Structure 1
């Protein structure tokens, strides 16, 4: 990686970390803010949370093509402006219409920023450094969210709406900082607008080319199951199970969520060293097994109500195991999406995978909440165990479609280097003979 690429990547990572820090100020308190502080009710708060997903689903099908045609930088800047306007709008809105409109602007902005930043990271890295770049991004995101949430909890006061205005103002400023930081980045391989569209017409038929890529389609199916079974359950089914079945207090649930973040922050780079030389499909399959153990632990925690300490430990372990699995996926999934992408379609592939993630994050809470609301906790755990085992099976099946370079870029690079050294030696031996 060149010095220019490294400098651009550090600037992108810094801006991304600051925006995550700002986002952490508001995310844990959004439901309380809308329902109680603005006195708009729980139903409106639910609509606001759903609006984030709807806005993302609306813009993501179109974002990829724009990124590939115009480059990720202007798209990312536009997304940060929309997110900043939406965030500040949430802080100032005092009616249902204004709150929902602001949530739509914030959700759309974040949805635009994510694939744009992912594409910028791809442009500023190589196949052999990409895993570390995405692992660093994931680490900084979680660290920023954790620190922001901790400080936000100290500043917020439900009896004082102005304290929430300050939180949303901080978030808005951090999005603008991200936009300003990104705008100053010199992308080492940024193409001109007229060169951004491949001459073979693949960008004009981006979705058709993507759907014809069997490996990418399988990866999207795998990603949907993955996000449904883990991320989609944190704030719905799993939280309900923890409170209603395991009988832990909301404070203890907060500790479990903190354990998830701490597991990511403490293990990310240790895990990176262990997985970056392994086959990606095998790493993903191992994550499925780890999450299977996590869901079994959650289920067992509901079977020992008389041993409250044991039940609490099991549930906290569930969240920690999810964190370890997430740490393994960070240097694996996003780089694999980039390595599967055809030339000129990196933005399309990134936005398509982001769309799959949003669909799973919409379906996961809906399914989890419905089953929890019906008291179907045993079938709920069985479903998630099956999904986790399905992740392992789908990952191994995907591995049969990946090339050696897509499975393990570092090892493939080492083999190419060795081959490049051997060939000249054989040529010299032939000349000498």
Structure 2
């Protein structure tokens, strides 16, 4: 990694570390520590998601007009204010306001950081850059959650205040680190006009979304992304955990072990998996993820059918979370870089924000559907639904693969065959090199 990318990754990891301090304890903090009740605690989580959905449709346009750095500063500022707001909030309205600020801040940081990573990487290095980001995110969240759990005490509100202060400090550190980064300037249409005509019409109100919606490959990728996030991430804290406790009948402590297994697989296997998948077709890698997750959901279903052998049932649930982690390590160097390679240079922020919006929608719909089926006891329907969604991921990925160019589906091999070096083609965002032209030209037609 070059110096700018190392700093971006460092700041991202520190922000994840701060978020790990508080994210697992928001519900307990609102419902018990501040004695606001479970209804208010649930509303805190909902407001967090709604705030993210509210700001993401506008984030991409600002990134493309002003650059990702001002947006990242704004996200950091909102994160600081939200975290400190949580630290001093004692009423429902104050907690909800803090949740909205935090949700908005975290939401706008995602596409801003993604755009920075694209700007500092090339086609041959982008998969590794996003895999590193995913690895550091999970490591930061895991370590932060571990230390937060050791420090927190439900009967001492001051311990929660300390956690939120630490999170606010990490947002400040993120902003300071990003202030030392110098990004390459994006190539604009009034330069050499490297952006192909298919990239979309001249900038105007609503024009960016119009161009994106007419990019059929990107629309298909967004559909695929929604199903991916719905079938995995959207179930961790709702349907799957309810199934594990209510049907498989494991203890909450064992459920924590399963979550730890998920994180351990990601941290330990990320770079091993990366070496295996980065030179292969992205569409086939994602299709394989769908198969792996279908097996994971079958294992989860089987854990509820094993009677009298609790050890086997427990092993099946832990294996389910581990298989999800394996799939996640395969997605991190695949999907986000594909968004970047589909995007015209002048709409990089818009494409990253649109995909972040799709992810947020799935994370909102997933727990709602999973919780509803769990509440009604329809666990058989639940497992069948998620197995079907996983297999749907495979079919959608193969369909998408038929629309991608060789550069988009297998960029590492394409760059090597063309004899390009990293220094010659890093970064498409900043220089509008031929790789970006190929990506834009085939993305929607």
Shorter-chain-normalised TM-score: which range? over 0.9
Q: CA deviation at 1:417?
A: 2.0
Tell me the residue number matched to 1:50. Answer: 46
Q: CA deviation at 1:38?
A: 0.3
Tell me the residue number matched to 2:243. Answer: 241
Tell me how far apart the structure 2 counterparts of residues 386 and 125 of structure 1 sit (CA, whole Å): 36
Which one of 22, 30, 33 corresponds to residue 34 of structure 1? 30
Contact 2:187–2:345 (CA<8 Å) still a contact in 1? Answer: no
Matched, 1:72 2:68: yes
Residues 386-422 of structure 1, C-alpha deviations (whole Å, 9 max, x = no match): 000000000000001000000001111122129xxxx
Q: CA deviation at 1:173?
A: 0.4
Tell me how far apart the structure 1 counterparts of residues 202 and 94 of structure 2 sit (CA, whole Å): 40
Matches within 5 A, 1:83-94: 83-94=79-90
Tell me the residue number matched to 1:130. Answer: 126
Counterparts in 2 of 1:308 and 1:11: CA distance versus 1, 3 Å: same
Residues 355-407 of structure 1, C-alpha deviations (whole Å, 9 max, x = no match): 00000000000000000000000000000000000000000000010000000
Matched, 1:187 2:189: no
Which one of 360, 363, 366 corresponds to residue 361 of structure 1? 363
Tell me how far apart the structure 2 counterparts of residues 309 and 166 of structure 1 sit (CA, whole Å): 39
| Rg comparison, structure with higher value | 1
SS of the aligned residue for 2:123 comes to coil
Tell me the residue number matched to 1:104. Answer: 100
Matched, 1:173 2:169: yes
Tell me how far apart the structure 2 counterparts of residues 385 and 135 of structure 1 sit (CA, whole Å): 26
Contact 1:77–1:180 (CA<8 Å) still a contact in 2? Answer: no
SS of the aligned residue for 2:345 comes to coil
Contact 2:80–2:168 (CA<8 Å) still a contact in 1? Answer: yes
Tell me how far apart the structure 2 counterparts of residues 103 and 191 of structure 1 sit (CA, whole Å): 37
Tell me how far apart the structure 2 counterparts of residues 342 and 281 of structure 1 sit (CA, whole Å): 20
Tell me how far apart the structure 2 counterparts of residues 186 and 192 of structure 1 sit (CA, whole Å): 18
Matched, 1:316 2:312: no
Tell me the residue number matched to 2:227. Answer: 225
Tell me the residue number matched to 2:116. Answer: 120
Q: CA deviation at 1:179?
A: 1.1
Q: CA deviation at 1:188?
A: 2.5
Matched, 1:16 2:8: no
Contact 1:287–1:325 (CA<8 Å) still a contact in 2? Answer: yes
Which one of 212, 215, 229 corresponds to residue 213 of structure 1? 215
SS of the aligned residue for 1:189 comes to coil
Contact 2:33–2:154 (CA<8 Å) still a contact in 1? Answer: yes
Count of equivalent residues: 414
Counterparts in 2 of 1:218 and 1:29: CA distance versus 1, 3 Å: same
SS of the aligned residue for 1:344 comes to helix
The 10-residue stretch of structure 1 (203-212 or 237-246) with the greater mean CA deviation from structure 2: 203-212
Which one of 372, 394, 408 corresponds to residue 374 of structure 2? 372
Which one of 296, 300, 307 corresponds to residue 294 of structure 1? 296
Contact 1:74–1:183 (CA<8 Å) still a contact in 2? Answer: no
Contact 1:71–1:193 (CA<8 Å) still a contact in 2? Answer: no
Where do 5+ consecutive residues of structure 2 fail to align? 421-445
Contact 2:138–2:267 (CA<8 Å) still a contact in 1? Answer: yes
Matched, 1:337 2:339: yes
Residues 212-248 of structure 1, C-alpha deviations (whole Å, 9 max, x = no match): 0000000000000000000000000000000000000
Q: CA deviation at 1:305?
A: 2.9
Matches within 5 A, 1:245-260: 245-260=247-262
Tell me how far apart the structure 1 counterparts of residues 409 and 296 of structure 2 sit (CA, whole Å): 26
Q: CA deviation at 1:191?
A: 6.2
Tell me how far apart the structure 1 counterparts of residues 392 and 331 of structure 2 sit (CA, whole Å): 16
Return the TM-score normalized by structure 1.
0.93
Tell me how far apart the structure 1 counterparts of residues 291 and 129 of structure 2 sit (CA, whole Å): 25
Q: CA deviation at 1:52?
A: 1.0
Contact 2:187–2:346 (CA<8 Å) still a contact in 1? Answer: no
Matched, 1:95 2:87: no
Counterparts in 2 of 1:301 and 1:343: CA distance versus 1, 3 Å: same
Where do 5+ consecutive residues of structure 1 fail to align? 419-433
SS of the aligned residue for 2:90 comes to coil
Contact 1:71–1:191 (CA<8 Å) still a contact in 2? Answer: no
Tell me how far apart the structure 1 counterparts of residues 409 and 57 of structure 2 sit (CA, whole Å): 27
Residues 322-353 of structure 1, C-alpha deviations (whole Å, 9 max, x = no match): 00000000000000000000120000000000
Return the TM-score normalized by structure 2.
0.91
Tell me how far apart the structure 2 counterparts of residues 67 and 387 of structure 1 sit (CA, whole Å): 33
Q: CA RMSD in A?
A: 1.7
Q: CA deviation at 1:201?
A: 4.3
